[in-house]
Chains A and B, each alone.
Chain A
Amino acid sequence: MSRILNKKAIPRETLVSGGGSAPDNVQSIRLQKWMRRHKEGIIGYSILSPMILYFSIFAVFPALFVIYLSLTEWTGVAGLPEWVGIKNFRTFFTQGDYVETLIRAGVYGIIILFCSLIIGLLIALLLNQKVFGSGAIRTIWYLPVLVPFAVVAQMVNTLLSPVDGVVKQMMVRFGMEPIVFQESALWMSFWLIIITVWKGVGSTVIIYLAGLQGIDTTLYEAGKVDGASRLKIFWYITIPCLRPITMFLLITGIIGSFQIFEPVQLITYGGPHGDTNIILYRIYQDAFQAFNFGMASASSVVVLVVTLILSVMQYRISQRRIT
Chain B
Amino acid sequence: MKKSRKTLFKWVAAMVMVAMLAACSTKAPAPSTNTPTNSVGDSDPIRLTVWAQPSLDWPTNTDKKNQDLYEYIQGEMEKKFPGIIIDYVGKGWGDDLRQNLMLAVMAGNPPDVSFGEDFVPELAKLGALSEVPADFTTDLADGPMEAAKFEDKIYAVSGMTGIFALMYNKDVMTKAGLNPDAPPQTWDEWFEMSKKITETGKGEYFGSVVQTTGLGGTFRIAPFMRQLGGDLTSPDSEKITFQSPENVKALSFLKELSLTAPSGSTALNDENALYNLVHHGKAAFGVAGPWHISWSQNEKCNCGFAPLPVPEDGERANVIVGNTLWFVLKQSKNQEAGMEYLRIIASKEYQEKFAIASGRMPSNKLAIANTELVELVPQLAVYGEIVANEQAGPLPSYPKNGPKIWEAWHKAQESVLIGDKSIEESLAEAQKTAEDLLK
Residues of A within 8 A of B (CB): 57-58, 61-62, 65-66, 75-78, 80-81, 95-96, 161-163, 168, 178, 180, 182-183, 269, 271-274, 285, 288-292
Contact = CB atoms under 8 A, between A and B. Distances in A.
A163 B273 contact: yes
Q: Which 9 A-B pairs have the closest CB atoms?
A: A162-B264, A182-B267, A273-B415, A290-B403, A273-B414, A78-B126, A180-B264, A162-B267, A77-B126
Contact of A163 (B126, B268, B436): B268
B264 A163 contact: yes
Nearest to A91: B436
Nearest to B436: A95
A80 to B, nearest CB: 6
Interface string B266-278: 1111000100010
B86 interface: no
B268 A289 contact: no
Interface in B85-115: 95, 99, 102-103, 105-106
B258 to A, nearest CB: 11
B20 interface: yes
Contacts of A57: 15, 19
B429 to A, nearest CB: 11
A292 B102 CA distance: 12
B433 interface: yes
Contacts of A289: 95, 99, 403
A290 B401 CA distance: 7
The prevalent SS among residues of A at the interface is: loop
B5 A80 contact: yes
Contacts of A81: 9
Nearest to B276: A163
Interface of B: 5-6, 9, 12-13, 15-16, 19-20, 95, 99, 102-103, 105-106, 126-128, 213, 262-269, 273, 277, 401-404, 407, 411-412, 414-415, 418-419, 421, 433, 436
A53 to B, nearest CB: 13
Nearest to B412: A273
A62 B268 contact: no
22 contacts: A58-B19, A77-B128, A78-B128, A161-B264, A163-B262, A180-B264, A180-B267, A183-B266, A183-B267, A183-B419, A272-B415, A272-B419, A273-B411, A273-B412, A273-B418, A274-B411, A288-B103, A289-B95, A290-B402, A291-B102, A291-B403, A292-B401
A85 to B, nearest CB: 17
Contacts of B415: 272-273
A80 B269 contact: no
Nearest to B20: A62
B259 to A, nearest CB: 13
A292 B126 CA distance: 13
B16 A163 contact: no
B102 A77 contact: yes
Given A75-B126, A271-B414, A180 B263 contact: yes
A168 B262 CA distance: 13
| Most chain B beta carbons < 10 A, residue from A57, A78, A163, A274 | A163
Given A96-B404, A180-B266, A290-B401, 12 more contacts: A57-B19, A62-B15, A65-B16, A162-B265, A163-B263, A163-B277, A182-B264, A272-B414, A272-B418, A273-B412, A273-B418, A273-B419
A271 B213 contact: yes
Contact of A269 (B102, B103, B269): B269
Given A163-B265, A271-B213, A288 B99 contact: yes
A287 to B, nearest CB: 8
B263 A178 contact: yes
Secondary structure at chain B's binding surface: helix, strand, loop or mixed? helix
Nearest to B269: A269
Contacts of A288: 99, 102-103
Nearest to B18: A58
Contacts of B103: 288
B419 A65 contact: no
A61 B102 CA distance: 23
A96 B268 contact: no
A80 B419 contact: no
Nearest to A287: B20
Contacts of B6: 80
Nearest to B101: A77
B114 to A, nearest CB: 15
Contacts of A76: 13, 102, 106
A102 B18 CA distance: 26
Contacts of A178: 263-264
A80 B273 CA distance: 43
A81 B8 CA distance: 12
A61 B15 contact: yes
B309 to A, nearest CB: 25
B198 to A, nearest CB: 15
A97 to B, nearest CB: 9
A126 to B, nearest CB: 34
A168 B264 contact: yes
A285 B408 CA distance: 13
A210 to B, nearest CB: 27
B411 A183 contact: no
Contacts of A274: 407, 411
Contacts of B407: 274, 285, 290
B404 A290 contact: yes
Scoring B20, B265, B267 by chain A CB atoms within 10 A of each residue's CB, the highest score goes to: B267
A272 B106 CA distance: 32
A162 B403 contact: no
Nearest to A274: B411
Contacts of A168: 264
A273 B267 CA distance: 11
Nearest to A265: B24
A168 B268 CA distance: 14
Nearest to A168: B264
A116 to B, nearest CB: 22
Contacts of A61: 15-16
Given A269-B269, A274-B411, A62 B16 contact: yes
Contacts of B95: 289
Contacts of B105: 77
